[in-house]
Amino acid sequence: MKKLSLLCLILVFISCKKEEKQTEVTTKNYEKIEELQWLVGSWTNITEEKQSFENWHKTNDSTLKAHSYTIVENDTVFAERVTLQQLDSTVAFTVVAYNQNDNKPVTFRLKPTNNGIFTFENLKHDFPSKISYSNPVKDSIHAWIEGKMDKEPITVDFYYKRAK
């Protein structure tokens, strides 16, 4: 009887240790994507010439998604979907721009950050090869794209404020 009790106690102990290890394995650290949570929300850039909108939402602990579009004279002249996802230690910024690149996704990888600037890079892509985001003041986004067109370096800036 003592042997049976001891065996049961050992089995319970081993079972608890296995469950503890499984919990440790499934808990992941999404520290890099956490640094970009300020993107979540609705953003606008409205001028006399155009109206641009960028809407971000959190899908889960590792993923943010966005839909961006620009309207000029009641016509949508640009639209894209973005998935921002942390995969292990890498953060991928995947874009599908409608009517560009045969509507296929293009992925950019987060480069090491500094001064609150988040730059995603894909040097194999024609234009842009870099996409950057910063949050210079509360409730604002400064985003810009960089690359070369006709061998000339080009930077295009986008300024958004949080929609109310």
| Interatomic CA distance for residues 68 and 56, integer angstroms | 9
- Cβ–Cβ under 8 Å, residues 44 and 160: yes
Tell me the residue type at 58: K
90 has pLDDT over 90: yes
Task: Tell me the pLDDT tens digit for each residue of 70-81.
Answer: 999 999 999 999
pLDDT grade for 14, boundaries at 50, 70 and 90: low
User: Given this model, what pLDDT does residue 95 score?
Assistant: 97
pLDDT grade for 7, boundaries at 50, 70 and 90: very low
For the ranges 20-24, 122-126, 127-131, which has the lowest average pLDDT? 20-24
- Give the residue, 9 or 163, on which the prediction is more confident: 163
- Cβ–Cβ under 8 Å, residues 22 and 54: no
- Cβ–Cβ under 8 Å, residues 44 and 52: yes
User: Given this model, what pLDDT does residue 120 score?
Assistant: 98
Question: The pTM is what?
Answer: 0.81
pLDDT above 90 covers a percentage of the chain that reads 75
**Helix, strand, or coil here: 2?**
helix
Looking at every residue in the chain, the average pLDDT score rounds to 87
How confident is the model over 19-45, as a mean pLDDT? 78
